[in-house]
Structure 1
Amino acid sequence: MKSGKTGLIIAAAFIGPGTVTTASMAGASLGYGLVWALCFSIFATYVLQEMASRLGLITGQGLSEAIVNISQNTFIKWFSIALVCAAIGVGNAAYEGGNLTGAALGLANVLPGSITLWALTLGSIALILLLSNRYQLVEKVLIGLVALMSVVFITIMLIAGIDTAALSKGLSQFGFSNTSLLLAIIGTTIVPYNLFLHAGLSAKQSREMPLSKAEISTELPAHKRQLFSSIGLGGIVTFAIMSCAANAFYLTGNVLSPGNIASQLEPILGDYANLFFALGLFSAGLTSAITAPLAAGYAICGLFSWQPTLQAKEFKLVCVSILVCGVLVATSGFKPLGIIILAQASNALLLPISVLFLLYVMNQKKIMQEHTNTLLANLFAGVILIVIIGLGGNKLISLLF
């Protein structure tokens, strides 16, 4: 698997139903007020995913394997394993619930049946694909559909135009009026499980096609450029969704709801807007519903030295467990948009654990050798970590008191 393809997979992984819904709600309720948060999130995603992919390419190890090998101290090792299991288990279960809920919400808007019924149906489809080992072709088709939806959002944004005055205000005035939505924007873009997924995919590439030192020196700069393009594309699509919602709802005074969220596509698609939006949510949701369990499989199997392949029983068990938890969340009876926002916010709250481990590993010479983090990379990662912890801590304090 080429490094450019892994970057596109990561970009496609975070443009799921959570991104569509969260960006729509942000644009509908705050206009361009959270564009600054999106810019920060895209920058942070690039910085962190570059570290994760570099780890896999250089060492041939996933992030989990590297975490386990940090220390020979038994207590530290098992404490690290427990933290990663908690972060990935809780985070991916919540994220999987958001994926299935988003896809089910799209289908329920245009077809007979409740969100609960469609969540169960989609969960069953994802389960069959994961257990059959034939999900790759379907995933490519679904990613293609998500790409098509992205083109439509960008086209609508260009046709509707951007309120440059409101955009400038959104970039210059940091809005904190809705912390849950702010955390959701961060959590739907800087996805913790993507760090494990990216490191795992890059490690697989490294093991299948080992690179010499000279080849690594050539590969890393090219890899960074490809990753920058992929993550940047994801950011443009997210901004386009936010801009469409701002024009359709915030600037007109209309209130966004599950029943009218697709109306932002009407300038181009007219009566077909609802159908197309449903297809997009279904595609994004099912793609992410497959990707999230796979990422958990890489993470958990790496911790216990199990085979990180879909053919291994342990890997399948982890995937199925995350999928079942996601179905339970999606069929819990809570409001669908609330579940999706909660899933993204929980990601942001759990993200510091993953970032701390990644940052520590990337500064270990015995693991990374001459490819440890530079001072600038550590500075960027440190600022990202402080911002995320500060926002998450503020939200927890407000909930408790």
Structure 2
Amino acid sequence: MSFTLPLLRRATGSRAMARLTMFLAVMGPGIITQNVDNDAGGITTYSLAGANFGYALLWTLVPITVALYVVQEMAARLGAVTEHGLADLIRERYGVRTTTFALLALVVADFGNTMAEFSGLAAGGEIFGWSKYIVVPIGALAVWWLVFKGTFRTVERVFLVASLFYVTYVASGVFAHPDWGQVLRATVVPSFSFRAGYIIMLVGIVGTTIAPWMQFYLQSAIVEKRITVKEYGYTQVDVLVGSIMTDVVAWFIIVACGATIFAHHIHVETVKDAALALGPLAGKYAGALFAFGLINASLFSASILPLATSYYVCEALGFESGINRTIRQAPVFYGLYGILIVGACVIVLLPNAPLLKILFLSQVANGVLLPFILIFMLLLANSKRLMGKYANSRAFNGIAWVTVVVMIVLTLALVITQMFPARS
């Protein structure tokens, strides 16, 4: 992509228009990566937060947005400056053994996460009365065809369009007719409860925001798109826009469920329950839009998660990778992508598959891995030899380390609460 930017600069008349044109050329990796964060698991978490606690957790999305930007900005900067993926940098800096351990755990976690996306697709289809034995195979085939047959440019455009469909959750929130005064007050005035359920939900919201795979995918996408430090200012805006977009969507999901399900004291346990409950309370369009959003998010994330896995495995082991390469040029990359999709699809379709146990183990793996990945990133971003003048500044380091410490504490708390759930 970088080789096209000088042409764009010369072809554009005004300075402001040139900047806009260059931003449109560079944008994509940040917006896509962070919107995928609102996957089936994320939507479930936000739905249950609104259904069980109303607007009480809206305030958490403000600091979460800052944390998301800080971590993703580091990943994007590492990619633009070094022109290498994160797995490649970890292998070069910390050795094969460390990289192999991280890879194995990441592959297991991402396989579980991919199954979660196809489970979300099945749940979304069932809301409309569609059998999972039809919806899931069609979805898997569509995801496979997109990546195997498309170029990076084509795939990125499809992903950007999918990001726009998250507006369905904004519409659901508006159709719910909340008390906007209460909503805004809950957003800017923090409230806290020491009830076990509240703390677990708080940790769940934070834990679903920053996942290990996101850092690998974003950095790999920056490298494949050939974004360098010359265009990095535009990438920072891309990451910022993505951070705000993903948490605005989360905000409206909580608002929609808080204004309806929580207000009417309806008990729900899954995102499917939430979507079905929204219909009678906020109108059939709100429930239908909510369900459509779940299907879109599940397909979107089912495309990205195995793609991220293929990127970092091939980077770490020295295999060719990238959507712009053919199957002959990158057989391991495409082979792993196909195996993850087919395997996840088959297990979801099994009548008595232990999905809850698998999802639990993938969440634990994510929780254990995240602190290590964040520390690796900080050490790499602070290396003057690697980053030169683009290494973290003292001010940025302070924010970044606080973010990492908070994420480590909350992630460990999430793992502990899932391993030793409260009995009361």
TM-score normalised to the size of structure 2? Answer: 0.80
Deviation at 1:257, TM superposition (A): 4.3
1:24 aligns with 2:42: no
Structure 2 matches for 1:166-177, cutoff 5 A?
167=186, 171-173=190-192, 177=196
Q: Out of 395, 400, 418, which is 1:376 matched to?
A: 395
Equivalence for 1:44: 67
| Closer, same or farther: CA 184–353 of 1 in aligned 2, 3 Å | same
Which one-letter code corresponds to 2:127 in the other structure?
A: N
1:23 touches 1:185 (CA, 8 Å); kept in 2? yes
SS in 1 for 2:27: helix
What is the rounded CA distance, in whole Å, between the counterparts of 1:116 and 1:329 in structure 2? Answer: 12
Equivalence for 1:191: 211
| Closer, same or farther: CA 305–387 of 1 in aligned 2, 3 Å | same
- The gaps in structure 2 that reach 5 residues or longer are 2-24
Deviation at 1:356, TM superposition (A): 1.7
- The gaps in structure 1 that reach 5 residues or longer are 72-76
2:112 touches 2:362 (CA, 8 Å); kept in 1? yes
What is the rounded CA distance, in whole Å, between the counterparts of 2:406 and 2:309 in structure 1? Answer: 25
| Closer, same or farther: CA 35–66 of 1 in aligned 2, 3 Å | same
1:181 aligns with 2:201: yes
SS in 2 for 1:281: helix
Deviation at 1:166, TM superposition (A): 7.1
1:229 aligns with 2:241: yes
Structure 2 matches for 1:78-89, cutoff 5 A?
78-89=96-107
Structure 2 matches for 1:45-194, cutoff 5 A?
45-71=68-94, 77-113=95-131, 115=132, 118-133=135-150, 136=155, 138-144=158-164, 146-156=165-175, 161=180, 163-164=182-183, 167=186, 171-173=190-192, 177-178=196-197, 180-194=200-214
Deviation at 1:272, TM superposition (A): 3.7
Q: Out of 234, 246, 258, which is 1:246 matched to?
A: 258
TM-score normalised to the size of structure 1? Answer: 0.84
1:287 aligns with 2:300: yes
Deviation at 1:26, TM superposition (A): 0.9
1:89 touches 1:322 (CA, 8 Å); kept in 2? no
2:51 touches 2:262 (CA, 8 Å); kept in 1? yes
Q: In the TM superposition, what whole-angstrom CA distance separates every residue of 1:286-311 from its partner, at most 9, and x where no partner exists?
A: 11100111111111111012112133
Equivalence for 2:344: 326
What is the rounded CA distance, in whole Å, between the counterparts of 1:204 and 1:384 in structure 2? Answer: 28
Which one-letter code corresponds to 2:380 in the other structure?
A: V
1:204 aligns with 2:224: yes
1:156 touches 1:268 (CA, 8 Å); kept in 2? no
1:192 touches 1:351 (CA, 8 Å); kept in 2? yes
Q: How many matched pairs?
A: 386
Deviation at 1:371, TM superposition (A): 0.9
Deviation at 1:165, TM superposition (A): 8.6
2:57 touches 2:186 (CA, 8 Å); kept in 1? no
Equivalence for 1:306: 319
What is the rounded CA distance, in whole Å, between the counterparts of 1:252 and 1:395 in structure 2? Answer: 29
Which one-letter code corresponds to 2:210 in the other structure?
A: I
What value does the CA root-mean-square deviation take over the aligned residues?
A: 3.2
What is the rounded CA distance, in whole Å, between the counterparts of 2:342 and 2:288 in structure 1? Answer: 28
1:116 touches 1:330 (CA, 8 Å); kept in 2? no
2:261 touches 2:278 (CA, 8 Å); kept in 1? no
| Closer, same or farther: CA 186–328 of 1 in aligned 2, 3 Å | farther
